[in-house]
Structure 1
Amino acid sequence: MMRLLIVPLALTLVSCGDTPEGKPVMRTEIGSGVAEDIAATGAEPGQVLSDDPALTPGRPSACRTLMFEGARFTHCIADPASHRITTALGPEGGAPYRSLARLAAEREANAPPVAFAVNAGMYDDEGKPIGYFVENGNRRKELSRTEGAGNFHLMPNGVFFGTSGKWQVRTSDDFYRNVGDRPRFGTQSGPMLVIKGKLHPEISQDGPSKAIRNGVGVAKDGKAHFLISNEPVSFGKLARLYRDELKVPDALFLDGNVSSLWDPVSGRLDTGPAIGPLLVVELKE
């Protein structure tokens, strides 16, 4: 059964600098229809609502649905024991993909299987990153330490990066001062959501700006936790989910309103406005 959810547009959030976010993402899910009525489940905060075993021929999905403070989120876990994380902007020598659908369509047949993929931070009008971006060890954009408008410049912002299965989230200043070797992958976005176990000082408890939002955080066990809200939420709620429920000490906001997920096992491939850089979580062969 195919279900199409049209996500409402939030008017107040700015995605990339002063550029308003695009049209709402259309979420396409192909599956059994489990947990269609979340409100009727009586789930406790953080409780997994659907495992969808019928959607996992051969391997399970890395993503699950959970509730937190009355809102539904999709929670995807990358485990360094079984996953590899890469960044992707576009085909070699070509323009940015601008969508997960194009990434899926143009991915080489002999490439490692994709566990899931998400948008990886903020970008300019051409879909190119506005902050630090490393793909396969090649730096495509230098670290940005400038001030400006928009979420990216709500300091401190941060970098999600890694090499050989060691993944980290650090504030941009921490990264600049303490990371000497270029990582295998890296993407800069902002603001930080959680910094050393504390919420970003400029994030309010539950501000008026609500949007479909996604982020990434790395737990003490080294696993990367990716979240995307299934309904508009505040920065505060997303940050508290990382801090209070997932116990993630450092988490980074990736983007809002254009937030998108590709989960091949469940058949979910979000479509909508053009996006920029991507994070791809692959299965280790």
Structure 2
Amino acid sequence: MGQAVGHHLSRGVMKGRYLAGFLLAVLLAALALIWWAKSSRQPPLIVGGELPAPCRDASFEAVAYVVCEIDLRSYDIGVFQSGADGKAFGSLEKFDKAMADQGRPVLLAMNAGMYHQDLTPVGLLVEYGQEKAPLNLADSEGNFFLKPNGVFLVRKDGKTAIMETSAYAAARPDVMFATQSGPMLVIDGRLHPRFEQNGTSRYIRNGVGVRDDNTVVLAISRSEVSLGSFARLFRDALDCRNALFFDGVVSALSNGERMIVGGSYLAGPIIAVTGKKLATQ
């Protein structure tokens, strides 16, 4: 009898240990899943790095930014997505290396529009006067389709502008470079009508504004910011009557040699600044 009781007790102890071990394994797996979910939502790696000549650190509404003011009388600016082989560069780091290998080093590069899984642009892309992807007038979900959206462009005469998409479709300007994205941040001095004052959606974001025919303003936040505050940066602090959102989460900026903001994130269209007349075929 005593042996039977001991046997049952031993089995009970073993079951208890097994159950405790199983519960511990479940707990560890749950903690790992929580850690992964949190880490996957972290903002991009903030690297540091020396700012290019046209760029400066700035602060607006308690958010730190890198702001790059490009005078097109001193610099060239273009939009690029793929190399001579037709393959997408895929990231700022790969783009910088490709340009350096060709003897065409860039002063700065930034992701410049949204893309599909194969890295092709969601909207219009024009490189060196050739349309690589068509204007997208569709209605759908997501930031790109938060109308009005728009097009950043550099005309063949070297002048720059940001146009609302339907205005671009009507005018069909003669452009050397163009990239379509959305939403517009500022439209003729007015903030996008769908933006909240300070919405709960916060990400590291980047975009482009135009101050006049010769001045392009690129900005990227160093920490998370709402679309409303980001739009006010362009209108109120950077004096841009028109500005266009490029992207969030994957936003990145390089100085041609290393990352300043962001990490090794995928990129479709890329905007790049070079010394005057260097960006020619």
TM-score category, normalised to shorter length: 0.7 to 0.9
Secondary structure in structure 2 of the residue aligned to 1:232:
coil
Higher strand share: 1
**Residue number in structure 1 paired with 2:271:** 279
In the alignment, which residue of structure 2 is the partner of 1:105? 97
Verify: 1:172 aligned to 2:191, yes or no. Answer: no
Structure 1 CA distance for aligned equivalents of residues 151 and 37 of structure 2: 25
Match of 2:44 in 1: 25
TM-score normalised to structure 2 length: 0.79
Look up the equivalent residue of 2:248 and give its one-letter code.
Answer: G
Provide the alpha-carbon RMSD of the alignment.
2.4
Is 2:111 aligned against 1:92?
Answer: no
**Counterparts of 1:22 and 1:170, CA distance in 2:** 32
Q: 2:247 aligned with 1:228, yes or no?
A: no
Q: How many residues align?
A: 240
Q: 1:73 Cα deviation (Å)?
A: 0.6
Q: Decide whether the 8 Å contact of 2:88 with 2:268 is kept in 1.
A: yes
Contact conserved, 1:217 with 1:251, CA < 8 A, in 2? yes
Alignment of 1:127-138 (within 5 A): 127-138=119-130
Q: Which amino acid aligns with 2:162?
A: V
Alignment of 1:174-189 (within 5 A): 174-181=167-174, 183-189=175-181
CA deviations on 1:28-76 (whole Å, 9 max, x unpaired) are 2235xxxxxxxxxxxxxxxxxxxxxxx7xxxx62111101011101001
Q: Deviations over 1:128-186 (max 9, x none)?
A: 101000011110111000000000000000000012320100100111112343x1000
Percent identity (aligned): 37
Q: Which residue of structure 1 aligns with residue 16 of structure 2?
A: none
CA distance in 2, matches of 1:265, 1:157: 32
Point out where structure 1 has 5 or more consecutive residues left out of the alignment.
1-8, 12-20, 32-54
Distance 1:231 1:64 in 2: 16
Residues 197-221 of structure 1 deviation map (CA, whole Å, 9 limit, x = unaligned): 0001001110010000001010036
Structure 1 residues 109, 95: closer, same or farther in 2, change over 3 A? Answer: closer
Corresponding letter in the other structure for 1:119: N
Picking from 148, 154, 158, the partner of 2:146 is 154
1:193 aligns with 2:212: no
Evaluate the alpha carbon distance shift between residue 84 and residue 205 of structure 1 in structure 2; reply closer, same or farther with a 3 A threshold.
same
SS at match of 2:212: coil
Bigger Rg, which one: 2
User: Alpha carbons of 1:270 and 1:144: their partners in 2 closer, same or farther (altered >3 Å)?
Assistant: same
